[in-house]
Structure 1
Amino acid sequence: MFDLDGVLLNSKRNMELSWGAVCERHDVNVEFEDYFSNIGRPFKDILDILNINVDQTDIEKTFNDVSTQLIDQVEFYEGVESVLGQLANNNIKIGIVTSKNTIKTQKILDLLGFAFDIVQTPNDALKGKPAPDHILYAMSELNMNASDTLYIGDMDVDYEAAKRAHVNYVHALWGYGTCNDKNVIKLENITQLSDIILNE
């Protein structure tokens, strides 16, 4: 299972423009890097961390509306399509667990044109990362054991969610965050993932 932003998708420019619109329209005085350092969590959780406690629903709507309008400001990392194809050809189940909302996620995945076995986006029934709920739910839906599951992420919340779900974690060094756990496999690019999984 993959995180989306920073693992399959480079969406930093899209997020920066969307956050700029939030600051302008809602008189928010928070630097983009402060927002960006918390991505991976549910959007309202990030607002709480940034002490933005009013108009959260309107702010989230602005961010999502602008982000959706600027969907062309995202790009998949080199090698993503070929790696997904290789895994699928070897009958490996492939899913996404992301904090990006359903509408934006679907628009982005339509650009990729790949049929994932499951796509987990935020909902009111499950807690967002770093809680393990979405990973556990996806595993249950796919009838997979933790010992046979790998989660690929790039932020602390991905690492924590994977650990709490008791699944193996792989850190994407090409993404947005760091991982200080020396026991975690860290990959320089996504093409190395095929070597790890298919050669086991």
Structure 2
Amino acid sequence: MIKAILFDLDGTLLNTLDDIKNSVNYMLKKHGFKERTLDEIRSFVGDGAKQMIERSIGFTEPKEQVLECLSTYEAHYEIHKADLTKPYDGVYDLLNQLKEKNIRLAVVSNKPMPQVIPLIEGLFPGYFEVILGETSELKRKPSPEMLFYAIEALELSKEDVLFVGDSDVDMQTAINANVDAIAVLWGFRDETVLKKYQPKYIVNHPKEILTIINK
């Protein structure tokens, strides 16, 4: 019996892409780089802000320049992270019904923790018992460390939980943690990418997750 669901954030619970794109392109323009399209930025996200910035500017060295670009992005995104961001259709209904069923909820994101907390507190107050973003203490996904930490914090076992995500990074995380995964198709990766990881379930709408829980 499933006792808890662990959710990725960007592309799973929240459509954050427009705000991310605007902040990335602000950074690129300020530092003299060509701006990126929405589809390009969609392909860059998933395993941390620094990696996204490296892909956006097209290099990883010199590190000082990467970190300067990252700092510019983070300062802009801090102010504008909730301008256009909103939950996907059906997410609130899903979370409310899961709470009614006493299914415990957690967020496990590669987004930096200082960005995760305000979004969760602002858009999902009171829903999540455990909220994890990227920190120096835990290796980010696809390492299983964050999933393990969340499961331990909930005092559950791997068999008690499902992990819901939208990306190849999320699916690899579930494999690494030996946790059953639900891949969602409304996020940042398409079905062709996600199917390669053979998740236990693939869904097109949040209400389908309730059907899985009710089995």
Offset at 1:27?
A: 2.5
Is there any run of 5+ residues in structure 1 with no aligned partner, and where?
none
* Secondary structure in 2 matching 1:171: strand
Aligned-partner Cα distance in 2 for 1:19–1:114: 30
Alpha-carbon distance in 2 for matches of 1:48, 1:17: 16
Q: Which residue of 1 aligns with 2:59?
A: 51
Match of 2:22 in 1: 17
Which of 104, 118, 123 is equivalent to 1:107?
A: 118
1:90-133, Cα deviation, whole Å (9 max, x unpaired): 11110000111222212211123233010011111211111111
Q: CA deviation at 1:164?
A: 0.3
Change (3 A) 1:35 1:52: farther
Distance in 2, Cα, partners of 1:154 & 1:112: 19
The normalised TM-score by structure 2 is 0.85
**Residue 88 of structure 1: CA displacement?**
1.4
**Identity across matched positions, percent:** 26
Q: Alpha carbons of 1:101 and 1:145: their partners in 2 closer, same or farther (altered >3 Å)?
A: same
What letter corresponds to residue 184 of structure 2 in structure 1? Answer: A
Q: 2:165 & 2:116 partners in 1: Cα distance? A: 16
2: CA distance between counterparts of 1:34 and 1:77?
A: 21
Shift of 1:26: 2.1
Q: Mark the CA change 1:52 to 1:22 in structure 2 (over 3 Å): closer, same or farther.
A: farther
The 5 Å alignment of 1:76-155 reads 76-109=87-120, 110-155=122-167
Question: What residue number does 1:40 align with?
Answer: 46
Q: Deviations over 1:51-109 (max 9, x none)?
A: 23232332222222222222121011111112111111211110000111222212211
Larger strand percent: 2
Q: Using a 3 Å threshold, how does the CA distance of structure 1 residues 191 and 21 change in structure 2: closer, same or farther?
A: same
Gapped regions of structure 2 (runs ≥ 5): 1-5
Question: Alignment length, in residue pairs?
Answer: 199
1:108-163, CA deviations, whole angstroms, 9 ceiling, x for partnerless residues?
11123233010011111211111111111111111121111111101100000011
Q: Tell me which residue corresponds to 2:3.
A: none
* Structure 2 counterpart SS, 1:72: coil
Task: Judge which range, 169-178 or 107-116, deviates more.
Answer: 107-116
1:72 maps to amino acid:
D
CA RMSD of aligned residues (A): 1.8
Partner of 2:170: 158
Alignment partner, residue 209 of structure 2: 193
Aligned to 2:13: 8
